[in-house]
C-alpha cells in the first residue's frame, strides 16, 4: 500500500475509535490508541514498524504542537499565582517517584544501577496524553492549570535528574570522567534547547506584534515548531523542551495564549488523530511477557510515586482540598520522552542488553492506554470537565 492509504486508514479508523470511546464514556484519546493497537503488530499488523517510522514526520509535528501549547500555559502571571505550588508538588512527586520506583524494581531483581535509572525515567509525563484529554473534555479550573504546569515542570526535572543519575551510575564502574562529562553535556543540552526555544519564540512574537494575519501567522508558527524540532534532533537536544521554551517565550512576550491555541486548532484534529492512532499501532503487547515482574513493578511504583507524591506534598501548598487527591492521577500518561531517554541510558551504560528499555516500554504500554482514562477520570472527579461543570436538571 502507499503511505497515502495508510494515512487515510489511520484517520478513518482513529476517528471511528474516538467516537466509540466517547459513546461509552472514555476519552476519545483512548479510542484512537486502542484502534491503533488493533492496526498494529499486536493484532492485525497492518501498521508495521517500517510504516510507523516512515510517518515519523507526523509524530514530530504533533509533539511540537503539544509542547508549544504546554509552554504557553506558563505565563508569568500564572506562575506568580501557581509557581510555589508547581515547584513544591513537582519536587515532591519527583523524590517519592524516584525512591519508590528504584526500590521496587531493585527488590524484584533489577540491578541497583538499572533500578536508579528507571526511577528517574518514571518522572516523565506524556504531553499528548494530558493535553489531548484536557481539550477533549474541555476542562478548565485549578487542577487543569496545575496539571498543565506540572507537565512542563516534571519533564524538565526528569531530564536534569536523568543526566545526574546516569553520571552517578557510570561512576559505579569507575567511569567518573565519562559520568561528569555526560552530566555537563545534559545541562548544556538543556541550556541550548532553552536558547533556541527563546529565540524562536522571539521570532514568532515579532510577527504577532506586527498584527500579521492569522493565515500567515499559522504558517510561521508551524515553521518555527518544525525548525525547533529539526535543530533539536540534529544536535541531540530535546525537541519537546525546546518547543516548551518557545511557547513560554511567546506567551510572556505577547500574552497570546488564546491566539496560539486558535491557530493550532485549525489543523490539530487531523494531525492528532493520525499521531495518536499511530502511537497505538506502535504498542507491542508482547513486551509485557518479556520483562515480566520488573515491568509490573515499574508500573505499580510509578503509579504510587505520582499519586502519593502529589497528594502528600500538595498539603504544603494552597491547592484546594477538593483538587489535591486528583493531581497525581492527572500525571499518569507516559510515552515517548521516557523511551527516548531509556535509549540514551542504554548507550551510556555498558552491558544493559535492553533491560531498561524493555521495562520502560512495558510501562508505556500501560500508561499510554490507561493513562488518558485515569486523567479523564481525575478531571471529572475534580469537577473541571465541561460535563461536570454543566448542571443537570431533572424533568418535572
Q: Report the pLDDT value the prediction gives residue 40, as an integer from 0 to 100.
A: 87
Residue 131 lies in a domain: yes
Residue 181 pLDDT exceeds 70: no
For residue 358, the SS3 value is helix
Residues 6+ apart with CB under 8 A from 25: none
Averaged confidence pLDDT in the chain: 85
Share of the chain above pLDDT 90, in %: 30
Q: Report the pLDDT value the prediction gives residue 246, as an integer from 0 to 100.
A: 94
Residue 395 lies in a domain: no
Please state the φ and ψ torsions of residue 40, each to the nearest 5 degrees.
Answer: -85, -170
- How many structural domains are present in the chain? 1
Residue 392 lies in a domain: no
Q: Report the pLDDT value the prediction gives residue 261, as an integer from 0 to 100.
A: 86
Lowest pLDDT segment from 131-135, 152-156, 228-232, 374-378: 152-156
The mean per-residue pLDDT over the stretch 79-91 comes to 84
Smallest CA-to-CA distance from 260 within 272, 244, 240 is with: 244
Angle at CA of residue 216, ends 193 and 8, nearest 5°: 80
The mean per-residue pLDDT over the stretch 24-36 comes to 84
Q: Report the pLDDT value the prediction gives residue 352, as an integer from 0 to 100.
A: 63
Q: End-to-end alpha-carbon separation of the chain, Å?
A: 57
Residue 337 pLDDT exceeds 90: no
Residue 269 lies in a domain: yes
Q: Report the pLDDT value the prediction gives residue 175, as an integer from 0 to 100.
A: 47
Give the model confidence (pLDDT) of 259-297 as tens digits. 898 899 888 889 988 988 888 887 777 777 767 888 899
Q: Give the span between the Cα atoms of 217 and 242, in whole angstroms.
A: 20
The mean per-residue pLDDT over the stretch 239-243 comes to 85
Q: Report the pLDDT value the prediction gives residue 338, as an integer from 0 to 100.
A: 81
Q: Report the pLDDT value the prediction gives residue 171, as an integer from 0 to 100.
A: 66
Q: Buried b / exposed e across 219-250, counting CB within 10 Å, b at 16+?
A: ebbbebbbbbbebbeeeebbbbbbbbbbbbbb
Give the model confidence (pLDDT) of 317-333 as tens digits. 888 899 999 999 999 99
Residue 391 lies in a domain: no
Q: Report the pLDDT value the prediction gives residue 172, as an integer from 0 to 100.
A: 63
Residue 33 lies in a domain: yes
Q: Report the pLDDT value the prediction gives residue 177, as an integer from 0 to 100.
A: 46
- Residue 330 carries which DSSP code? G
- Whether the Cβ atoms of residue 338 and residue 364 lie closer than 8 Å to each other: yes
Give the model confidence (pLDDT) of 197-229 as tens digits. 999 999 999 999 998 899 999 999 999 999 999
Q: Report the pLDDT value the prediction gives residue 350, as an integer from 0 to 100.
A: 66
Q: Report the pLDDT value the prediction gives residue 207, as an integer from 0 to 100.
A: 95
The CA–CA distances, whole Å, from 47 to 8, 282, 285, 296 equal 12, 8, 14, 27
Establish how many alpha carbons lie within 13 A of residue 263's alpha carbon, considering only the half-sphere containing its beta carbon. 25
Smallest CA-to-CA distance from 230 within 76, 24, 57 is with: 57
Its domain, for residue 84, covers: 3-386
The mean per-residue pLDDT over the stretch 16-20 comes to 90
* DSSP conformation letters of 62-76: HHHHHHHHHHHT--H
Residue 376 pLDDT exceeds 60: yes
Q: From its phi and psi, is residue 351 left (phi > 0), alpha (psi between -120 and 50) or beta?
A: left
Q: Report the pLDDT value the prediction gives residue 307, as an integer from 0 to 100.
A: 93
The CA–CA distances, whole Å, from 5 to 8, 10, 51, 268 equal 5, 9, 11, 20
Q: Give the span between the Cα atoms of 236 and 290, in whole angstroms.
A: 29
Q: Buried b / exposed e across 255-286, counting CB within 10 Å, b at 16+?
A: ebbebbeebbeeebeebbbbbbbbbbbbbbee
Q: Report the pLDDT value the prediction gives residue 155, as an integer from 0 to 100.
A: 83
Alpha helices (H) in the chain, listed in sequence order:
3-23, 28-39, 49-54, 56-72, 76-107, 112-121, 127-137, 142-172, 176-209, 214-234, 239-254, 257-265, 268-281, 286-291, 293-313, 324-327, 336-348, 355-381, 386-389
Q: Buried b / exposed e across 339-349, counting CB within 10 Å, b at 16+?
A: bbbbebbbebb
The mean per-residue pLDDT over the stretch 291-316 comes to 91
- Whether the Cβ atoms of residue 34 and residue 283 lie closer than 8 Å to each other: no
Q: Report the pLDDT value the prediction gives residue 353, as an integer from 0 to 100.
A: 61
Residue 122 lies in a domain: yes
Q: Give the span between the Cα atoms of 279 and 126, in whole angstroms.
A: 12
The mean per-residue pLDDT over the stretch 62-77 comes to 84
Q: Report the pLDDT value the prediction gives residue 331, as an integer from 0 to 100.
A: 92
Q: Give the span between the Cα atoms of 70 and 74, in whole angstroms.
A: 7
Residue 212 lies in a domain: yes
More confident residue, 339 or 134: 134
C-alpha cell at 163: 543526566
For residue 107, what pLDDT band results from cuts at 50, 70 and 90?
very high
> What CATH number is associated with residue 199?
1.20.1530.20
Give the model confidence (pLDDT) of 137-164 as tens digits. 888 888 998 898 888 888 878 877 887 7
Amino acid at each position: 500500500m502507499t503511505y497515502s492509504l495508510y494515512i487515510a486508514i489511520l484517520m478513518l479508523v482513529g476517528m471511528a475509535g474516538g467516537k466509540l470511546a466517547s459513546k461509552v464514556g472514555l476519552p476519545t484519546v483512548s479510542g484512537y490508541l486502542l484502534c491503533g493497537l488493533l492496526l498494529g503488530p499486536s493484532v492485525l499488523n497492518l501498521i508495521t514498524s517500517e510504516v510507523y517510522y516512515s510517518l515519523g514526520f507526523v509524530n514530530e509535528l504533533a509533539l511540537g504542537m503539544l509542547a508549544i501549547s504546554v509552554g504557553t500555559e506558563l505565563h508569568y502571571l500564572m506562575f506568580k499565582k501557581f509557581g510555589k505550588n508547581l515547584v513544591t508538588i513537582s519536587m515532591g512527586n519527583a523524590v517519592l517517584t524516584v525512591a519508590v520506583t528504584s526500590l521496587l524494581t531493585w527488590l524484584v531483581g533489577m540491578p541497583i544501577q538499572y533500578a536508579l535509572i528507571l526511577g528517574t525515567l518514571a518522572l516523565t509525563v506524556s504531553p499528548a496524553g494530558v493535553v489531548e484529554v484536557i481539550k477533549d473534555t474541555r476542562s478548565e479550573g485549578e487542577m487543569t492549570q496545575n496539571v498543565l504546569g506540572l507537565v512542563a515542570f516534571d519533564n524538565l526535572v526528569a531530564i536534569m535528574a536523568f543526566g545526574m543519575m546516569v553520571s552517578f551510575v557510570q561512576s559505579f564502574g569507575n567511569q567518573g570522567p565519562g559520568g561528569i562529562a555526560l552530566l555537563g553535556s545534559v545541562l548544556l543540552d538543556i541550556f541550548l534547547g532553552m536558547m533556541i526555544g527563546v529565540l524562536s519564540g522571539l521570532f514568532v512574537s515579532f510577527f504577532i506584534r506586527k498584527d500579521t494575519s492569522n493565515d500567515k501567522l499559522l504558517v510561521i508558527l508551524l515553521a518555527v515548531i518544525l525548525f525547533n524540532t529539526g535543530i533539536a534532533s540534529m544536535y541531540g537536544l530535546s525537541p519537546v523542551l525546546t518547543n516548551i521554551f518557545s511557547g513560554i517565550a511567546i506567551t510572556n512576550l505577547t500574552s497570546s495564549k488564546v491566539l496560539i491555541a486558535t491557530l493550532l486548532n485549525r489543523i490539530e484534529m487531523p494531525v492528532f488523530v493520525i499521531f495518536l492512532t499511530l502511537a497505538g499501532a506502535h504498542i507491542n503487547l508482547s513486551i509485557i511477557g518479556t520483562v515480566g515482574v520488573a515491568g509490573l513493578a515499574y508500573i505499580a511504583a510509578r503509579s504510587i510515586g505520582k499519586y502519593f507524591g502529589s497528594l502528600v506534598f500538595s498539603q504544603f501548598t494552597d491547592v484546594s482540598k477538593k483538587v489535591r487527591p486528583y493531581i497525581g492521577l492527572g500525571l499518569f500518561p507516559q510515552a515517548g520522552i521516557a523511551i527516548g531517554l531509556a535509549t540514551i541510558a542504554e548507550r551510556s551504560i555498558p552491558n544493559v542488553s535492553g533491560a531498561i528499555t524493555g521495562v520502560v516500554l512495558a510501562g508505556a504500554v500501560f500508561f499510554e492506554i490507561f493513562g488518558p482514562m485515569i486523567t479523564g477520570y481525575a478531571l471529572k472527579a475534580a469537577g473541571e470537565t465541561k460535563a461536570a461543570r454543566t448542571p443537570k436538571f431533572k424533568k418535572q
